[in-house]
Amino acid sequence: FMCSQPERSQAGSFCVGGTAVKWAVLGEDFSIRERGSLPTGFTTAEETVSALIGLVEPYCERVSAVGVSAPGGIYEGDVTGTIHRGGALTFMDGCPLGKLMREALGVPVAVNNDGKCCALGEYAAGALRGTRFGVVLAIGTGIGGGIVIDGKVLRGAHCFAGEFSFMRNDVTTAANMGNSFADSGGWRALRDAAVAEKGLPEGSPVDGRRVFEWIADGDKAAQRALDRYARAFDGQLINLQAVLDPEVFVIAGGISCHPELVDALRAQMPLALASYEGTLAGIPVPQIKAAELGNDANLYGAVQEAMRLL
């Protein structure tokens, strides 16, 4: 929540996800004053809107604006903050979330896609500070993120810009989730590569944290898996460099907290570029940084959007 009135010097921020709603009250300096979360046990848009309004109401005298990060697409300039598609919360499709919250609370409400809020957060207070043009890729089950140019996130004609999951690994074969950046770049791809390199049975109960524990312990099979994963990921970064040409790629998402990931992406980039010859050899080398805000990036980004309404 951000304010233009002396008695209201804070802003409220929500990150609505498939498993939890995170909320925070932030000051004008982006410091988090209060925070909390509640499980996303909602089954209807009405329940969701009511819960979000209920979280803000105790702070109504203190906040001047509310920002909401949510799955799905929100068109640029849509003052109603209507969610399209709904992402992990399909029942939110068509819900004018911004309008309903604004009418109930009496303060400006900005709604934006979660990946785009992550990118805006890193621009406002994280790894994209001081850049004019940067890209955030958030590694989860798929690859979310956003493209930030001069402090504004690119939404695209259909609010689909930054949906990196849908990029195909092989454009000569059918488009499906097994032939997508979501499949080759999501955290499960690293897990599966580590399981295969170590000769473990398919479906072994291994998560990303365990893979990085192996790597920290000097497990060569796990390191080979990370290098293989990083080289494939770098191939997509090279494609994005050719199309977007940003100053920097910021790697976010759950496994980005492990410095070995960014180290591997940087180390494997020369190998990923090695097959480029002749005129193609002139492509700029993608610059890679780790996200700085962790799971709070969406909260900061939502507030960044809310501040534009004041």
pLDDT of residue 304: 85
85-118: per-residue pLDDT in tens?
877 788 999 999 999 999 999 999 999 998 899 9
Angle (CA) 93 99 105, round 5° = 125
pLDDT of residue 71: 87
Which two three-digit tokens encode residue 3?
């304010």
- Give CA torsion, residues 167, 173, 174, 177, to 10 deg: -50
> Residue 9 above 70 pLDDT?
no
Collect all residues with Cβ–Cβ distance below 8 Å to 215 and sequence separation of at least 6: 222, 223, 226, 258, 260
182-194: per-residue pLDDT in tens?
999 999 999 999 9
Residue 68, classified by CB atoms within 10 Å of its CB into exposed (0-12), middle (13-18) or buried (19+), is buried
**Phi/psi at 231 (nearest 5 deg)?**
-65, -40
> Residue 205 above 80 pLDDT?
yes
What global pTM score does this model have?
Answer: 0.85
